[in-house]
Amino acid sequence: MMRILIDMDDVTADAVARFLEWYERDFGIRYTRQQLHGTKLSEIVPPEHKQTVLRYPHQKGFFKDLPVIQDSKEVIEALNNIYEVFVVSAAMEFKYSLYDKFEWLDQHFPFIPWKRRVFCGDKTIVKGDVLIDDHDFNLFVFTGRPIVFFSPPNVHYIKNERIDT
């Protein structure tokens, strides 16, 4: 059966929302998603805030209760009824994310059982037929069919097949 590998952050879980939320909490300025097109928050904040922003995902709670990307639950559940869907997240960079991501999947994607969840560091280790991801560096190394899922930083990345919603 065809295996579809699906990323978490900014494909099913809205990590951009948490970056914007924590930056506003700390510095009182609310950036918009449009301001992140082709870049990322750590690149557009004042240079003295950059390290703070880069540390956010390493802190406890960053990945807890992230909003679900619009329609992702319904679409992935429909795909999962036909294909073998695995969730594959490069979660290992952020040790406090591991438990929060697992719980988040239990809450929002309970139809993806533990056997079809993967937390890795480098996605060259996984194999499958399709990978839906927002990062070019994950898609570039994938040996199956790579599909870019829209996120603000990748808006100008046009080398691959794309899904915008």
**CA-CA distance, 130 to 139, in Å (whole number)?**
10
CA angle 41–154–123, rounded 5-degree value = 100
CB of 92 to a second copy, least distance (A): 4
Annotated catalytic residue, options 9, 10, 133, 134: 9
Choose between 53 and 88: whose C-beta lies nearer to a second copy.
88
SS3 6: strand
CB of 145 to a second copy, least distance (A): 16
Choose between 92 and 163: whose C-beta lies nearer to a second copy.
92
Annotated catalytic residue, options 7, 10, 100, 133: 7
**Has 100 been annotated as catalytic?**
no
Q: Which residues contact 110 (CB under 8 A, 6 or more apart)?
A: none
Choose between 128 and 146: whose C-beta lies nearer to a second copy.
128
CB of 161 to a second copy, least distance (A): 22
CB of 54 to a second copy, least distance (A): 15
**Has 9 been annotated as catalytic?**
yes
Choose between 108 and 152: whose C-beta lies nearer to a second copy.
108
Q: Which residues contact 107 (CB under 8 A, 6 or more apart)?
A: none
Residues that bind a second copy (CB under 8 A): 3, 5, 86, 88, 92-93, 95-96, 98-99, 102-103, 113-122, 125-128
- Which residues are annotated as catalytic? 7, 9
